[in-house]
Amino acid sequence: MTSLATREKMPMADAALNQGVATADDGRRLGFALTLPAQLLVLFIAVFPLLMQLYISLTDWSPLDGIGWWQAYELWNSFANYTDLMADTRFWGALGRTALVMLICVPAEFLLGLGLAILFMDDFVGKRVFYSIMLIPMMVVPAVAGYMFFMLFQSGGPVNDILSGLTGMNVSIAWLSDPTTALIAVMIADIWQWTPLMFLILLAGLVGVPEDQVRAATLLGASWWQRFRTIVLPKMKTIIIIALAIRIIENFKIFDTLYIMTGGGPGVATETISVYIYKVTQQDLIWGYVAAIALVILISLSILVSLAISRMNKKKEA
Amino acid sequence: MTAIHLENLVKRFGAFTALKTMDLEIRDGEFMALLGPSGCGKSTTMNMIAGMESPSKGRILFDGRDMNGVAMGRRGVGFVFQNYAIFTHMNVYDNLAYGLRVRGLPEREVDGRVRKIADFLQLTPLLKQPSAKLSVNILQRLAIGRSAIVEPAIFLLDEPLSNVDAAFRAVMRTELKHLQRQFRQTMVYVTHDQLEAMTMADRIAVMDHGVLQQVGTPLEVYNDPVNLFVAGFIGSPGMNLLKGSLADSDRGLVVDLGELGRTAPLPPQLAAAARSNAGRDVVYGFRPERVSLSETGEGMPMPVTFIERIGARTIAHLGTGEQRVKAVFDNDVAAESASTVAVAIEPASVRLFDAATGVAIREA
Amino acid sequence: MAGISFRNVTKRYGKTVAVKNASYDIQPGEFFCFFGPPLSGKSTILKLILGLETPDEGEVLIGGKPVNHVSPASRNVAMVFQNLALFPHMTAVQNIRFPLVERKVPEVAIKARVDEVAAKLHIAHLLHKPPAQLSGGERQRVAIARALVRDPVAYLMDDPISALDARLREETRVELKRIQRDLGQTLIYVTHDQEEAMSVADRMAIMEDGEIRQIGTPVEIYDRPASRYVAQLLGAPMMNLMPVGASGREAGEGTIVLPARAMPQDVVGVGIRPEDLKVEPWAENHPNRPATVYEVEPLGGYTVVTLDTGGQKLRALMRGQPDIRIESVVALSCNPERIHFFGAAGEALRP
């Protein structure tokens, strides 16, 4: 059926008729056969690494052991990695820090992005220039961004210079050396880099809100805020969920910019889950343990995101 | 219940003038149709009344009060959009309640008024239904109810029947007209369909190219169009319009229609008015419904090119070349394609227009 | 030029039956119209003729030959789609030439054929324009010309003028009819507009839920509908349908008296076309109960009067501009010969 429907909409009907047209059932079978290799490939790409990871997480295997990963069963330790993990305070600390960063950055990016998107719904002078400028942070390679903010937040760097100029005092905060300010600096960098993405997605959502319905609400006497709350937000529900989901997942994996700015330091003050995993993998080389961490994160993140989405769906329907 | 007064209204969009001076008085409680082809300025006029556009020049008065600068939510205007603009993420009840809730009315009063209007519009069994999948006749009633619940002084409707399928449109027309009679509200109705304007409106404002052509009751614009545009636009089919020139005959003033020959003498009063136009080219107009055919009798001989039998009516297509005539009969007329018939035109239905200006030549 | 026939054709999509046991014969050179509400199977019938669908049962014949297993290309049937499907980046003439260029017809032959078709459709002066510069009716003719150049055995049109405005539709349908007469070609036409169907069709088929309910000339079907369903599909305003009252001798709450002698057996409902319903001032000694005028809608040449019988609304179509006031009390009547009788299943009954 689908193949026929699209054929009918083709601009050149006669051309379509000139080719032999298969019937509906043939089409469905043919479609399945043609996509089979791709489906198998996707299955392989998605499922194989997961199974491999599960397997290794149940062993003490490390590349230094001199045996291939498929032989890891020789170092079988059942659930030891998982029980170790439960007692690993550095892991829990990293997880908590990651959650904190996420809880601050994602809402901040969302509100800033939404505010900017609303601004961009109106016309103003230089809109197109600002639009292009808005998108620059997103295009900067995270490693470069990390280096940029590393420079900005030096104790003799521009951030302190500007603060000095504004306050008239001689500000010299050692941003990246102090545990609290380091975390703040890292979050500022993340917000700087990812607000534009929020802005873009939310702007697309705003543009898609049916103008007639907003006008109808205006004519019924609704104020700006009432229109926003009762018409615009509900219409953007899906796109807001998508935007938040993308950023929550991405933010949870925060690594590159941060690692260049602070390397996870001072101490473990900015060590997020990704940084922690990286260190364990690269420095401690206990891969079985890493696999266990990764799996726990993957599963908990999946549960978190699906819970959040279903909560949001329910809330909007109520 | 408000009278609307449009004074010297002009609307320009950049270099394009959508409306070139419009003066119109819409009476309190009147059903006024703004009728014209697309791009005639009718929607622009309506949007300015609603406050969605602001006029480039001129004033809009509601009961003598200048609406310039009054925001669109504060004019007391109910607007029914072409696509109804129902809030698709809400159910029927919440749509109806919307206007009251944004005014901060207590939920008990909201509930009472929603139930009252739902009852009136026969929407009560549907109150809990999501509005996204309702049929268009229900959507229309819902859109009207949602506007009516806040008791606007003026109702504006923007082609509300254009999405309704033809068979059902007739029923909706009657119902809409009847609703207006019960609400007794001033209603402005924008449409490009002359049938809708004719059947529903108390008066029609016919517009073309940003200019108001004629204002009058449906029968006034049908019977006495002021110019060729109105004559051709009103009626289905429109008025027959044949180019010709005035000529004297022994029976009085007639119109020479070239290939089709000469018409019957003009009625005395029309002839008197036409005398002042003597020698100039005129357009000879008459309604397709005011024609009779005979095989032998009096009248202009014309070839029949095609007979359309469409239920209650039969449309005969007559004439040759540029001079084409349509005649509408009841379904029992005996005429055959490719024959020649004598066409007799009811003298009282004849109208004359100045061929150069298109303006009707009227009895003084 | 070829006739087209269906022999007991059935087409299903999963569990839905799109076309059910359809049999009909379209004569060569006939303007044949399929008419019915959306999803009644009209478009599926076109697809079956075109060969875009294969029947599950039965046989499709073109020019007397079975074509169930003939590919769409070899059936040589041309289709004009609802959205016209003209190429916007090509001029009218390039659009028209396209099917011939695709078939690698020699240039000289293409030119001759395009000129011939353009002359027939009166579009020679438009050939250099792109579709965007053409009016709706002109685009329509270009689309027909493109279908025409191939010299197919039959043309199919799926609601081809529904996008035009009302006035232009009235002009275009007459034009279509003229073109079809001039060409003398078989034309199969699908529309959802009853007036258009009656105007153009030599014969028409009325469809409901995948089944053909009646086939005949528009006048036959309008005057002698086979069922209540068919009766209410044709005519604007719709036919007035009323149940017969308890006494069996009246309808419309006693506002209409039925002919005592000329009634068939087992009549459950009656139908009266609006133009057959006579409206007169009511007088005390009138045998029927009075009706009230609910709404008056002037059309200029005609007037639609909606009447309230106390239980239902009836419509009368009156010629001219009669002076009838809303809320006035009137008597209704109808020529007994013009009353349609229906049985319990909605089937038409004849006296």
Q: How far is B217 from chain C (nearest CA, A)?
A: 10
Expressed as residue numbers, the domain containing B351 is: 240-361
Phi, psi angles (nearest 5°) of residue B45: -60, -45
Boundary of a domain, candidates B203, B233, B263: B233
CATH of domain A88-285: 1.10.3720.10
CATH classification of the domain holding C258 = 2.40.50.140
Cα(A278)–Cα(A293) distance, integer angstroms: 11
What number of H helices and E strands is found in chain B? 9, 20
Residue B167 placed within a domain: yes
- CA nearest A24 in C: which residue? C53
Interface test with A, best of C11, C54, C74, C156 (most A CBs within 10 A): C54
Q: Which of C195, C297, C317 sits opposite B199 (nearest CB)?
A: C297
Number of domains in chain B: 2
Residue C75 placed within a domain: yes
Give the model's pLDDT for residue A18: 38
Give pLDDT tens digits for B66-82. Answer: 998 888 888 889 999 88
Q: To 5 degrees, how large is the angle CA C340–CA C342–CA C347?
A: 120
Residue C183 placed within a domain: yes
The token pair that represents A271 in the structure block: 């060590």
> Is residue B347 located within the same domain as residue B287?
yes
Residue B189 placed within a domain: yes
Residue B57 placed within a domain: yes
Give the model's pLDDT for residue A20: 39
Give pLDDT tens digits for B86-115. Answer: 999 999 999 999 999 999 999 999 999 999
Q: Which range, of C210-214, C246-250, C293-297, averages the lowest pLDDT?
A: C246-250
Give the model's pLDDT for residue A53: 85
pLDDT at C84 over 70: no
Give the model's pLDDT for residue A105: 93
For chain B positions 248-287, those within 8 Å of chain A (CB to CB) are none
Helices marked H in chain B: 42-50, 92-101, 107-120, 136-148, 166-183, 194-200, 218-223, 228-233, 268-275
> Is residue C264 located within the same domain as residue C151?
no
**Chain A residues within an 8 Å CB radius of C150:** 14
- Report how many Cβ contacts below 8 Å link chain B to chain C: 107
Residue C229 placed within a domain: no
Mark yes or no for CB contact A10/C85 under 8 Å.
yes
> Is residue C195 located within the same domain as residue C264?
no
Give pLDDT tens digits for C233-254. Answer: 998 889 999 999 888 888 988 8
A11 in reach of chain C (CB within 8 A): yes
Q: How far is C186 from chain A (nearest CA, A)?
A: 18
For the four alpha carbons of B270, B273, B277 and B279, in that order, the dihedral sign comes to positive
> Is residue C200 located within the same domain as residue C167?
yes
> Is residue C31 located within the same domain as residue C119?
yes
Cα(C161)–Cα(B318) distance, integer angstroms: 23
Residue C232 placed within a domain: no
Give pLDDT tens digits for A245-269. Answer: 889 888 888 888 888 888 877 878 8
C15 in reach of chain B (CB within 8 A): no
Phi, psi angles (nearest 5°) of residue B110: -55, -50
Q: How far is A227 from chain B (nearest CA, A)?
A: 9
Q: Which range, of A152-161, C149-158, C228-237, averages the lowest pLDDT?
A: A152-161
Give pLDDT tens digits for A130-178. Answer: 888 888 888 888 888 888 888 888 877 888 888 888 887 877 777 888 8
Number of domains in chain C: 2
- Report how many Cβ contacts below 8 Å link chain A to chain B: 57
pLDDT at C69 over 70: yes
Residue B102 placed within a domain: no
Give the model's pLDDT for residue B153: 84
Touching subunits for chain B (3+ Cβ pairs under 8 A): A, C
> Is residue B211 located within the same domain as residue B348?
no
Residue B326 placed within a domain: yes
Cα(B143)–Cα(B137) distance, integer angstroms: 10
Interface test with C, best of A17, A21, A25 (most C CBs within 10 A): A17
**Average pLDDT of B333-343?**
79
Residue B116 placed within a domain: no
**Chain A residues within an 8 Å CB radius of B72:** 215, 218-219
Kindly state the percentage of chain C with pLDDT values over 90. 48
**Chain B residues within an 8 Å CB radius of C297:** 173-174, 177, 198-200
Give the model's pLDDT for residue A155: 79
Q: What is the ipTM of this complex?
A: 0.86
- Residue B299 — very low, low, confident or very high, per pLDDT cuts 50/70/90? confident
pLDDT at C41 over 70: yes
Q: Which residue has the tokens 């072409």?
A: B82
Residue B262 placed within a domain: yes
- Residue A116 — very low, low, confident or very high, per pLDDT cuts 50/70/90? very high
> Is residue B316 located within the same domain as residue B182?
no
pLDDT at A7 over 70: no
The secondary structure of residue C131, as a DSSP letter, is G
Cα(B241)–Cα(B227) distance, integer angstroms: 11
> Is residue B71 located within the same domain as residue B181?
yes
> Is residue C263 located within the same domain as residue C345?
yes
CATH classification of the domain holding B311 = 2.40.50.140
B184 in reach of chain C (CB within 8 A): no
Give pLDDT tens digits for B16-28. Answer: 999 998 999 999 9
A167 Cβ neighbours under 8 A, 6+ residues apart = none
For chain A positions 193-212, those within 8 Å of chain B (CB to CB) are 210, 212
Give the model's pLDDT for residue A288: 83
Domains of chain A: which residue ranges?
88-285
Give the model's pLDDT for residue A110: 95
**Chain B residues within an 8 Å CB radius of C340:** none
pLDDT at A16 over 50: no
Residue B250 placed within a domain: yes
Mark yes or no for CB contact C79/A20 under 8 Å.
no
Boundary of a domain, candidates B233, B252, B270: B233
Question: What average pLDDT does chain B have?
Answer: 89
Mark yes or no for CB contact A221/B147 under 8 Å.
no
Cα(B298)–Cα(B105) distance, integer angstroms: 72
Residue C96 placed within a domain: yes
Q: Which of A28-42, A287-301, B204-218, C29-43 has the largest mean confidence?
A: B204-218
pLDDT at B278 over 70: no
Nearest CA among B243, B263, B213, B227 for reference residue B321: B243
Q: Which strands make up the sheet holding C340-342, listed edge to edge?
A: C240-243, C269-272, C340-342, C348-349
Q: Higher-confidence residue: A273 or C7? A: C7
Q: Which of C53, C86, C146 sits opposite A23 (nearest CB)?
A: C53
> Is residue C336 located within the same domain as residue C193?
no
- Residue B59 — very low, low, confident or very high, per pLDDT cuts 50/70/90? very high
Residue C123 placed within a domain: yes
CATH classification of the domain holding C105 = 3.40.50.300
Give the model's pLDDT for residue C162: 77
> Is residue C321 located within the same domain as residue C294?
yes
Residue C230 placed within a domain: no
- Residue A13 — very low, low, confident or very high, per pLDDT cuts 50/70/90? very low
For chain C positions 72-111, those within 8 Å of chain A (CB to CB) are 72-73, 78-79, 81, 85-87, 98-99, 102-103
Q: How far is C173 from chain B (nearest CA, A)?
A: 10
Give pLDDT tens digits for B116-140. Answer: 989 888 889 999 999 888 888 788 8
For chain B positions 323-362, those within 8 Å of chain C (CB to CB) are 328, 330-331
Centroid of chain to Cα B193: 6
> Is residue B30 located within the same domain as residue B61?
yes
> Is residue B22 located within the same domain as residue B80?
yes
Expressed as residue numbers, the domain containing C205 is: 4-224
Q: Which of B85, B89, B103 sits opposite A216 (nearest CB)?
A: B85
Q: Which of A222, A223, A235 sits opposite B89 (nearest CB)?
A: A235
Give the model's pLDDT for residue A27: 63
Q: Which of B81, B89, B103 sits opposite A216 (nearest CB)?
A: B81
CATH classification of the domain holding B172 = 3.40.50.300
Nearest CA among B328, B166, B324, B177 for reference residue B260: B324
> Is residue B264 located within the same domain as residue B248?
yes
Q: Which range, of A131-135, A305-309, B197-201, averages the lowest pLDDT?
A: A305-309
Boundary of a domain, candidates B233, B263, B296: B233
Q: Which of A41-55, A155-169, A231-245 has the largest mean confidence?
A: A231-245
Give the model's pLDDT for residue B18: 92
pLDDT at B156 over 90: yes
Nearest CA among B248, B193, B222, B240 for reference residue B42: B193
Give pLDDT tens digits for A176-215. Answer: 888 888 888 889 999 999 999 999 999 999 999 998 899 9
Q: Which range, of A130-144, B88-102, C99-113, C134-148, averages the lowest pLDDT?
A: C134-148
- Residue A316 — very low, low, confident or very high, per pLDDT cuts 50/70/90? low
Give the model's pLDDT for residue A1: 36
> Is residue B162 located within the same domain as residue B29?
yes
**Chain A residues within an 8 Å CB radius of B50:** 219
Question: What average pLDDT does chain A have?
Answer: 82
